Amino acid sequence: MNSILIYIILVPIIEIFLLIKIGAQIGAITTILLIFTTAIIGIYYAKHEGLNTLKSGFLQLSKNESPAYEVISGAAIALGALLLIIPGFATDILGFLLIFPITRKIIFKIFEKKFNYKKKQNKDFIEGDYEDIEENDDRKI
């Protein structure tokens, strides 16, 4: 079975389970208010971090450097904001982890280790130059 399909089925089940358990402990109204509060605070902080990342990206461009980290960081912040909009506690936790710079760097290092494709040296490759020789040239073999 495709792993994306498993996540599509598993995430709502986990969210419903957590909503029921937490709602039973702190009450339904408090749970709903907590969900709205985390969404509002998370979106505000995502906006703040997104603007900081955008400024950092422009600073890298002004130095004629590639803003690769800022682009990936901006995508992670956007995903974190999307996860914060989705009601639920598990997605809120993951969204906050993607928005905070310290945890975002840790997550990036984990993915970098997992997907680190080093360039393989091809030992059968010979580098050289060539020159086109006319048909009537004496250098032609």
Q: What is the pLDDT along the chain (141 residues), one digit of tens a residue?
A: 688 888 888 989 999 999 999 999 999 999 999 999 998 998 899 899 999 999 999 999 899 888 888 999 999 999 999 999 888 899 999 999 999 999 999 999 988 888 775 555 556 667 777 777 777 666 655
Within 10 angstroms of residue 85's Cβ, the number of other Cβ atoms is 14
Q: Using a CB cutoff of 8 Å and minimum separation of 24, what contacts does 15-22 make?
A: 15/86, 15/87, 15/88, 15/89, 15/90, 15/91, 18/88, 18/89, 18/90, 19/88, 19/89, 22/89
Task: Give the pLDDT score at 140.
Answer: 56
Task: Give the pLDDT score at 13.
Answer: 93
Q: Using a CB cutoff of 8 Å and minimum separation of 24, what contacts does 74-83 make?
A: 74/50, 76/104, 76/107, 76/108, 77/46, 77/49, 77/50, 77/53, 77/104, 78/46, 78/50, 80/42, 80/46, 81/42, 81/43, 81/46, 81/47, 81/50
Task: Give the pLDDT score at 128.
Answer: 74
Each domain of the chain, given as residue ranges in start order, spans 32-114
Task: Give the pLDDT score at 5.
Answer: 87
